Structure 1
Amino acid sequence: MVRRRLSVEEEALWTALTRSVRPIRAPVPMPSLRHAPLPVAPLPTPAKKRLTVPPPGPVAAPPQRAPAAMLDNGWERRIRSGAIIPEMSIDLHGHSLSAAHARLNHALSAALAQGARVLLVVTGKPPKAAASGGEARRGAIRGEIGHWLETSPYADRIASVRVAHPRHGGTGALYLILRRKK
């Protein structure tokens, strides 16, 4: 693109504009290089253009197993009827987000080490005043737990995440159905 020169009028306007602009915050000084930059070798000029096959890329890691939305009919029936009995449970409500996250990872680790299949995670329900306001709200822990489970080092060991039966806390608790050991 060909650049044109600014006229005297345009240059005066540009100068006035740049003087009126103030930075939002102080500029961050750039770190100085302690070493001289490495010299860049010029690329060799090819005599002829040839088509080359690019080398094969890195082998992709197998996709992580994600929790299933539905389990088989036996699991579904047991969850709906409340016949499921969690081997372990953890109560997270009343904790700060960081403490709840750490406790969840610790409980998952312990459940997997003991070979448990169902972990009950009590997140708590939002305050009654917020729930009766007409607008549905979630608690902070309940809002974050999905992300925590997805990014957990044990994410591939979770078969499904389901809302608990009312006898185990209903919407204030979750069942984590864990996969069997490989």
Structure 2
Amino acid sequence: MSAPRGLSAEEAEAWEKVAATVEPMHARPVKTLAANPAPAPVLPKKILLKPQRPAPPKMPQPRPAPNPPGNLDGQWDKRLKSGAIQPDFTLDLHGHGLDAAYDQLMSGIAQARAMGARTILLVTGKPRPVDPADRGSKRGAIRAKVLDWLAHSGHHSAIAAVRRAHIRHGGEGALYIVLRRQRG
């Protein structure tokens, strides 16, 4: 919406003629309009503002790491997908009960770390749809639990990645666990 432009000289003269023919309903003084009157200043409404704290200075965003922690670089992923990696250590949980599989997994990772292994081939069996209420006895129970076991184990900080194994190493029935390089 634009500001009123005011009346031109012709419009002001015409208005004066019209206004002279009108009889006011209530007695009050009639203002006459001058040609091109100065527009009345428009005052802003008063707005009560709450005192605001100054915004904290913006910290520069850190550059994202080229390989975020827990992820492998492209070369590792390419070699894992192609099956070019030869695992340093193999752990077979296939056919065990959940308790025995968990114990073997934890001790096997500890042994692989002590040996300085970087890649573990973990044979779990193929994943099967398992009812969440009965993961203890049906087929596929170990595979359904492995990622949770790894995430909540004392070894989680030593694991760089978990990937599905190449077909020559077991495909869907096995996983690669890539351990972080040990410093020291």
Paired position in structure 1 for 2:122: 121
- AA aligned opposite 1:118: T
- Distance in 2 between residues matched to 1:73 and 1:112, nearest whole Å: 23
Paired position in structure 1 for 2:97: 96
- Distance in 2 between residues matched to 1:147 and 1:67, nearest whole Å: 19
- Distance in 2 between residues matched to 1:151 and 1:180, nearest whole Å: 20
Paired position in structure 1 for 2:81: 80
Structure 1 length as normaliser, TM-score?
Answer: 0.56
- AA aligned opposite 2:172: T
Structure 1 position 106, deviation (Å): 0.6
- Distance in 1 between residues matched to 2:126 and 2:174, nearest whole Å: 8
Structure 1 position 126, deviation (Å): 5.0
- Distance in 2 between residues matched to 1:103 and 1:114, nearest whole Å: 16
Structure 1 position 138, deviation (Å): 7.1
Give structure 2 stretches of 5+ with no counterpart. Answer: 1-67, 130-137
String of CA shifts for 1:31-88, please: whole Å, max 9, x gaps: xxxxxxxxxxxxxxxxxxxxxxxxxxxxxxxxxxx973x4111101101111011000
Name the CA shift for 1:107/1:138 in 2 (closer, same or farther; >3 Å): same
* Bigger Cα Rg: 2
- Distance in 2 between residues matched to 1:125 and 1:67, nearest whole Å: 28
> Alignment identity in percent?
51
Matched pairs, number: 108
- Aligned residue runs from structure 1 range 1-182, under 5 A: 68=70, 70-125=71-126, 139-182=140-183
Structure 1 runs of 4+ with >3 Å offset: none
- Distance in 2 between residues matched to 1:77 and 1:85, nearest whole Å: 13
State the secondary structure of the residue aligned to 2:172.
Answer: helix
Give structure 1 stretches of 5+ with no counterpart. Answer: 1-65, 131-136
Name the CA shift for 1:138/1:75 in 2 (closer, same or farther; >3 Å): farther
- AA aligned opposite 2:106: N
Q: Which has the higher contact order (CA 8 A, sep 6+)?
A: 1
- AA aligned opposite 2:173: G
